[in-house]
Structure 1
Amino acid sequence: MPSKKMLSALFLSTSLIAPLANADIKIGVVSSSTGPIALVGIPQKNTVALLPTSIGGEKVSYISLDDGSDPTATVKAFKKLIDEEHVDAIIGPSGSGNAMAVIQFAAESGTPMLAPVGTAAVVLPMTEQKKWVFKTTQNDDLIAAAIVEQMKASGVKTIGLIGTADPYGENWAKVMTNLTEKAGIQIVASEQFQRQDTSMTGQSLKIIMTNPDAVLIAAPGSSSVMPQTTLKDQGYGGTIYQTHGAALDAFLRLGGKAVEGTILAASSMLVLDEVPDSVSKEIATKYIADYKKLYGEVPATFGGNVYDAGLLLENAIPNALKSGKPGTAEFRSALRDTLEISKEVPSTQGVYNMTPADHSGFDERGRIMITVKDGKWALLK
């Protein structure tokens, strides 16, 4: 018969194991709901309330942190989620530069990271560290290719570039340089600015002096507005293009008449009433309705990027559970492996088909050409 000491030890060991065996799936979320990236981060943080709370028969809990748009705070938040909360995956952060700062921590800990950011630099070129990152937005080259195609069709021969001096703007400059050269379009001026800058006069004047047929502004969220309003104030009359970083209603509100006629490539979420029925349209319509019911307003497409992260996890987790329990390295590794082979997973933005070389997975179904007409988003025709 076991002694009381043996029974006590057995009970203690069982009590330590039981919580792990019955542990919830824990998902960390890092967003910039305050600071310069807040227009991107607020709908992302709000969307957490709409993510699935049960997947594969397991309860899912979310731990949401705000990094204040500060990369240093992003690192601190990631370390807390990994080292203290022992999360199984992390959705976030909101900013491209913030995301670049934490890739190593996701990789070192073996924690899948679903990044709802603009720059493709978080997944390209693929490396041992970046294989732990999955990008829930369209890659720059997919969006840029549609823009350059439209430029060429419109007879644009010369363009000016204005982009943020961070991974987002820098990668856009790289992608556009390659695509415009192939299309026979010349970049006659290229300028950068910091998101916190309060004046764009110098950069805009340099662009205007080269008299380009069109200007592309590569900036996310509210930072996309000032370059355009400054160009208009200084008399620029050519076509102005924006990236999917400007795909939010605040761009229309802040830019006013200065953004009329803007052309961009983005997801169909901005113009759902004008696009044919599809699974993505159905998902986006439900997401927008649920968000509006909860918050009284329509979400920016950036919120959809977090919602789509939830859809990817919902698709991948049941298979990952076959390899390990939540809270274990085996589960996290299996989750990463399953995310990497996501096939035909519909989302608010398009359809995901991930591969070891492509951790964004969008194709042409994830973009359409849009313009600003009468102060509203409209399908470009």
Structure 2
Amino acid sequence: MKKPTPKLAVLVAALLATALAQADVNVGVTLSVTGPAASLGIPERNTIALLPSVVAGQKINYLVLDDASDTTTAVANARKLVGEHKVDVLLGSTTSPNSLAMIEVAAESQTPMLSLAASARIVEPMDARRRWVFKTPQNDSAMSQAIAEHMAAQGVRNVAFIGFADAYGEGWFQEFSRAAALRKIKVVANERYARTDASVAIQAFRILAVKPEAVLVAAAGTPAVLPQKTLRERGYTGRFYQTHGVANADFLRVGGKDVEGTYLPAGPVLVAEQLPAAHPVKKSALTYVTLWEGLYGKGTLSAFGAHAWDAGLLLTTALPAALKKAQPGSAEFRAALRDALEAVHEMPGAHGLFTMTPTDHLGLDQRARVMVRVENGTWRLQAGAGP
């Protein structure tokens, strides 16, 4: 067999280099499209269709799997995506328990992970494992402070807590307890329930017995309606607060009259059109709203879809810098992408302005939260809310 001529060898090398330069960027996505968290996961999945397919000349492939709101499945999906599909980055999952369980997969495979869940424990405290993990939803600590501030301003002196019996509920109880104590608000009950429970009658009885001035429900999606509906049916007339885990149309639809008057902290995107013109997130939030409603219709907006949008923005912002250092499909590229994500500065998203650092893998501040109230089946921005 003849050896290739020098010119042919150069040509072959050039063709190989071109092929490598054109390697696709593969994004592995696992979301809770079915199960108790489906009202959160479906808009996240639907947002993937709005994300760019080409960035800096590189094609982006999104491989989307359903974890059915199950922690074990989320981990299995993550292992499949990094092991079989060799993805360059993981996006997901929808819930805090699922995302917390996926951290080990991201760390072991040294694959950057963009979580769409709220628990601060996903990115805190920073350590060798979490240095591969980023997230887009506001921390429960920041939102707890917003609720405690609002309660204090409304003269609330004591509150009953009822939340999910998992990492989401526990994280919220810890953070809200601290925030409430600073405002001299007493937490007089701590009740829990499972995401799949059909009744919270016993928990409601115990809450009613202590006669709280307000109730905080620390749950997410449509299962968050259950405690509020149960307490309303049993005659409770005090104030209700929910977390940003209910910021979608399905909560309003399922809750109906039972959730009227509810207060909650939310990302600015939920009330983008109501924001003052000078609000720093109004323009970037409206960009997502316009794209979403153009495809899915008016009145269908979900803050959870916007978390996926912000994850996509972080990725597309970081990709050009990573592509200058290595080719997709390699360990070097994954490391470069992680470093580029950590260097994102003041990136305008749907929920806020993101500035990542080596010790902060969320990068949001007070500009990423507003207080809203359910009025006539819709969200209304509260006076004085915002940065």
Q: TM-score, normalised by structure 2?
A: 0.93
Matching of residue 65 in structure 1 with residue 69 in structure 2:
no
How many Å apart are 1:273 and its aligned residue?
Answer: 2.2
Which residue in 2 is equivalent to 1:179? Answer: 179
CA contact 1:370–1:378 (8 Å) conserved in 2: yes
Distance 1:205 1:101, change over 3 A: same
Question: For the Cα contact (< 8 Å) 2:281–2:367, is it kept in 1?
Answer: no
- Alignment match, 1:361: 363
Tell me, in whole angstroms, the C-alpha distance in 2 between the residues paired with 1:289 and 1:161. Answer: 36
Give the CA deviation at 1:323.
1.5
Report if aligned partners of 2:169, 2:218 keep a CA contact under 8 Å in 1.
Answer: yes
- Encode CA deviations 1:202-222: one digit per residue, 9 max, x unaligned: 111111111111111100111
Instruction: Return the alpha-carbon distance in structure 2 between the equivalents of residues 218 and 56 of structure 1.
Output: 41
Would the aligned equivalents of 2:119 and 2:140 in 1 still touch at CA under 8 Å? yes
Cα pair 1:346 1:352 within 8 Å, conserved: yes
Aligned AA (1:294): L
Q: What are the superposed Cα offsets for residues 221-243 of structure 1, whole Å, 9 maximum, x if unpaired?
A: 11211111111111111111011
Distance 1:77 1:89 in 2: 13
Contact preservation (8 Å) 1:118, 1:220: no
Deviation at 1:272, TM superposition (A): 1.9
Distance 1:128 1:67 in 2: 26
Match of 2:111 in 1: 111
* Secondary structure, counterpart of 1:102 in structure 2: helix
Q: Which residue of 1 aligns with 2:144?
A: 144
Measured after TM superposition, the shift of residue 378 of structure 1 is 0.5
Instruction: For 1:200 and 1:214, locate their aligned partners in 2 and report how far apart those are by CA, in whole Å.
Output: 17
**2:147 is matched by which residue type in structure 1?**
I
Q: Give the 3 Å change call, closer, same or farther, for CA 86–10 of structure 1 in structure 2.
A: farther
Aligned to 1:373: 375
Secondary structure of 1:377's match? strand
Q: What secondary structure sits across from 1:317 in the alignment?
A: helix
Determine helix, strand or coil for the equivalent of 2:47. Answer: helix
Correspondence for 1:313 among 312, 315, 322: 315
Q: For the structure 1 residues 12 and 36, does the alpha-carbon distance in structure 2 shift closer, same or farther, using more than 3 Å as the test?
A: farther
Partner of 1:329: 331
Secondary structure of the 2:42 match is: helix
Residue in structure 2 matching 1:301, options 296, 300, 303: 303
3-state DSSP class of the match of 2:48? Answer: helix
Counterpart for residue 32 of structure 1 = 32
Deviation at 1:19, TM superposition (A): 4.8
Structure 2 partner of 1:347: 349
Q: Secondary structure at the match of 2:49?
A: helix
CA distance in 2, matches of 1:161, 1:262: 15
**CA deviation digits over 1:239-264, x for unaligned, max 9?**
11011001111111111111111011
Moved more, 364-373 or 287-296: 287-296
For residues 334-369 of structure 1, the C-alpha deviation after alignment (integer angstroms, 9 at most, x for no partner) is: 111121121101100011111222211111110001
Q: CA deviation at 1:318?
A: 0.8
2: CA distance, partners of 1:234 / 1:346: 44
Identical counterparts, % of pairs: 45
Question: 1:37 offset after TM fit, Å?
Answer: 0.8
For 1:267-286, what aligned pairs fall within 5 Å after superposition? 267-277=267-277, 278=279, 280-286=281-287
Contact 1:44 1:305 in 2 (8 A): yes
SS at match of 1:160: strand
Amino acid in the other structure paired with 2:287: K
Q: CA deviation at 1:120?
A: 1.4
Write the deviation string for residues 21-73 of structure 1: whole angstroms up to 9, x where unpaired.
43111111111111111000000001111111111221111111111111111
Paired residues in the alignment total 380
1:98 corresponds to: 98
Q: Distance in 1 between matches of 2:146 and 2:77?
A: 36
Q: Deviations over 1:147-193 (max 9, x none)?
A: 10111111111111001011111100000111111211111110010
Report the Cα offset of residue 3 of structure 1: 4.1
Say if 1:25 and 1:88, in contact at 8 Å, map to a contact too.
Answer: yes
Greater shift after overlay, 84-93 or 283-292? 283-292
Q: Do 1:143 and 1:243's aligned partners in 2 also have CA atoms closer than 8 Å?
A: yes
Shift of 1:270: 2.0
Q: Distance in 2 between matches of 1:321 and 1:273?
A: 36
Residue type matched to 2:291 in 1?
A: D
- What are structure 1's unaligned runs of at least 5 residues? none
Q: 2:22 aligned with 1:22, yes or no?
A: yes
Letter in 2 for 1:97: P
Per the alignment, in what secondary structure is the counterpart of residue 237 of structure 1? Answer: coil
- Do 1:20 and 1:327's aligned partners in 2 also have CA atoms closer than 8 Å? no
User: TM-score normalised to the size of structure 1?
Assistant: 0.94
Spell out, residue by residue over 1:94-120, the C-alpha distance to the aligned partner (whole angstroms, 9 max, x if none): 111111111100111111100011211
Q: Which moved further from structure 2: 257-266 or 292-301?
A: 292-301
Q: Distance in 2 between matches of 1:357 and 1:279?
A: 24
